[in-house]
Amino acid sequence: MNSGKEGSESGAVSKTREAGASLRRSLLHALVVPLTLALFTGVVLGYQAAEKVVSTAYDQSLLNLATGIANRARVENGEITMGLTAEAEALLRTDTIDRIYFRVRDDSGRIIVGDADLPPPEISPGALSANLSELPPSEIQARDQTKAGGLSTTFFDDHFRGQAIRGVRFHPIVDEHGIYVTVAETLGKRHGAIRDLLVGFGLAVLLLLAAVAVVVRYGISSGLASLHRLEAELAERSGQDLAPVDLSHVPLEIREVVRALNALLARLGEANLAQRKFLQDAAHQLRTPLASLQVQIELLRSTRADPTISDNLRKSVKRVTRLANQLLALARAEAGQHLIANASPVDLAKLIDDMLEEWLRIADEKKIDFGVQRDVSVIAGDPTLLREMIANLVDNALKFTPVGGQVTLRCACVGELLEIDVSDNGPGIPEHERERVFERFHRLPDATAAGSGLGLPIAREIVAGHHGSIVITACPDDKGTCVKVRLPLNLSTVSV
């Protein structure tokens, strides 16, 4: 037995772990797409940002170098000269990573100093004077134009001597003489700086992904620990332990689920309590007629000639049979959820006529004025249960109405409803007891007639199964009791 229990518990634990793994996979699947999109977007934006930052910084350095070269220009005898010695030019071109190129020419196109073949190529002075900042688009891949000290400045990308270069060209004025200063460099430092920035960004992304992986791997397991504890707590309980789960140890995310579970456990507890009470009451109700039946049988064995014993035995058997039938009817009425699926047309007028002879016999014995008013009415429902419901209401009225009283049964269709009223001028039911008489085995304290206390509970269960209503009121003259039942004629029109 213990091994079976341990096997079931291990199976439950494995199922919980499978659920946890499934949750982990679901979270991974939910994170893959947004993380991939975020990573791709971050790489693109990071590269653009790094390129912009690096390009801006080194473009400014190029512009500063071009400005320094322009500051060495002098006008001598009406011509532009450059005070740039060989040592100064060598120093100007010195760079540990990239190669520096430059060129200076005047407005007439004369090369003053520098690399004559440095792009962009020379253009005519007329075109220069027409638009000093315009360059042939076929020779320039990209340009960023700014204003530096009021001078026209153009940045460009091109190729020179087999290498990609980035350059700047601007047109300063020296003693009313214009010159064009062009400075360019290869892209080694720029690419290195961009690479370093992207490596740093990539490391940050990798650390982020590692953190996400750790959270998914261990964080979810830690978060599911409370579920494992809840599963273990419920697995250790016996079938009779329906106590609510302590919400103080339950995570907020599943607290509503556990609260709903507690409500279910409460309903199960109430159902178990009602079932135990029902069995106790049923056993108590059966004990008396069975004991009486046993006594009558013993008397019958010892005394053969007394007809009273035979009559009492017949009554005891009838009482036990009636109680057993009522218990079976109550059990069937409680399964009323299946009535809609198994409903059939029931002619209540014929059903009442079949029971009328027995009611008239009982009424004649007690000299009760029994009246019946029933219209032709067909209702969808269970014929056996509807018969039991009407029989219980009329039997109760005949049983508790005193000799010489009145009992009336009315059955009529009003609109989409069937109205069934059973009224009498008996002692009546106090208002504070009208709800309690629908409880199983409950009887009024001053009740004189014998009974099991199941008639009205059975009637209520049958009415509920047919989606109707049943209430108890006083008769119009405030004497006696009137039981009013309202049933829909067609169960298919009732929303469940």
Q: Which domain holds residue 291?
A: 254-334
**Distance of alpha carbon 345 from alpha carbon 117, whole angstroms:** 107
Residue listed under structure tokens 């009559």: 311
79-85: average pLDDT: 83
Q: pLDDT confidence of 165, banded at 50, 70, 90?
A: very high
Q: Are 141 and 156 in contact (CB under 8 A)?
A: yes
Q: Are 137 and 121 in contact (CB under 8 A)?
A: no
For the ranges 115-129, 173-187, 468-482, which has the lowest average pLDDT? 115-129
Q: What are 377-416's pLDDT values in tens digits?
A: 888 888 888 888 898 899 888 888 888 899 999 999 888 8
135: pLDDT strictly greater than 50: no
CA nearest neighbour of 332 among 383, 282, 268, 284: 383
Q: Determine the pLDDT at residue 302.
A: 65
Q: Phi and psi dihedrals of 452, rounded to 5?
A: -95, -15
Q: Same structural domain for residues 172 and 202?
A: no
Q: Same structural domain for residues 293 and 389?
A: no
Q: Same structural domain for residues 365 and 428?
A: yes
Judge whether 111 lies within some domain.
Answer: yes
Q: Same structural domain for residues 121 and 150?
A: yes
| CA dihedral of residues 72, 76, 81, 84 (deg, nearest 10) | -50
Q: Same structural domain for residues 480 and 344?
A: yes
H-run or E-run covering 460 = helix 455-465
Q: pLDDT confidence of 143, banded at 50, 70, 90?
A: very low
275-284: average pLDDT: 62
Which of 271, 301, 334 is the last residue in one of the domains?
334
Q: Determine the pLDDT at residue 452.
A: 59
Q: Same structural domain for residues 90 and 203?
A: no
Q: Same structural domain for residues 321 and 454?
A: no
Q: What is the pTM of this model?
A: 0.42
100-118: average pLDDT: 89
